[in-house]
Amino acid sequence: MIRIKICGLTRVEDALAAAEAGADAMGFIFAKESKRRASVDLALEVGGKLPPFITLVGVFKDQPLEEVRRIMSEGCLHVAQLHGKEDQDYIDKLGLPTLKALNADSSEVCARMRGYREGTHFLLDAGGGGAGRPCDWSLAAKAQLDREIILAGGLTPENVGDAVRLVAPWGVDTAGGVESSNGIKDHELIRKFIGAVREADAALERGDKV
């Protein structure tokens, strides 16, 4: 079953709505330049109210190792999502479960993936992330044949079904695609997004043609 992450959360009620709709993971952005930047207190409060087995993800970009470790520990977060130039050495030194984001607009994405140790998990996005536009799905589909990926970049309730059927990713990730404004989630859009993913996933299981 394709996993679903709702990212860029800034309100407790939005996280609870996502959990109720069936999301598997929640993302809290701690990159300094983000318009959806969250607080450690928010992550802690959300984590205390969610049902078990939902993964809490902290999103970072080229931040010092100790800062990432501190936020991850204080926020009781499970996975660090890295959107900058972090290499395998950085990941090794971090010593935490990680998800490395890469730009899937470039044909070099598969080669870049092979620059990380086997077992590294990847999220493929457009640009540096947060651009609100789809990445190159054909490149993402090729990458998925090499490593299991999470597909991100401009995914909405309207296009995520097509993306799932074409790429067949391990998971999908959305932030702006389910918002009414920056950081404010639309609960109906969350439900529609998750429903579209589940419908497309079922079609893949049945072997329906794209």
For residues 19 and 13, what is the distance between their CA atoms, to the nearest angstrom? 10
The catalytically annotated residue of 7, 135, 136, 201 is: 7
Q: Which whole-number Å values give the CA distances from 45 to 42, 149, 185, 195, in the listed order?
A: 5, 29, 17, 27
Q: Which whole-number Å values give the CA distances from 200 to 13, 35, 106, 152, 204, in the listed order?
A: 27, 31, 26, 16, 6
| Residue 68 C-alpha from the chain's centroid | 17
125 an active-site residue?
yes
For residues 145 and 124, what is the distance between their CA atoms, to the nearest angstrom? 13
Q: Which whole-number Å values give the CA distances from 117 to 2, 31, 92, 147, 191, in the listed order?
A: 23, 24, 10, 11, 36
* H or E stretch covering 86: none
105 an active-site residue?
no
DSSP 160: H
The catalytically annotated residue of 14, 125, 136, 173 is: 125
Point out the residues that are catalytic: 7, 125
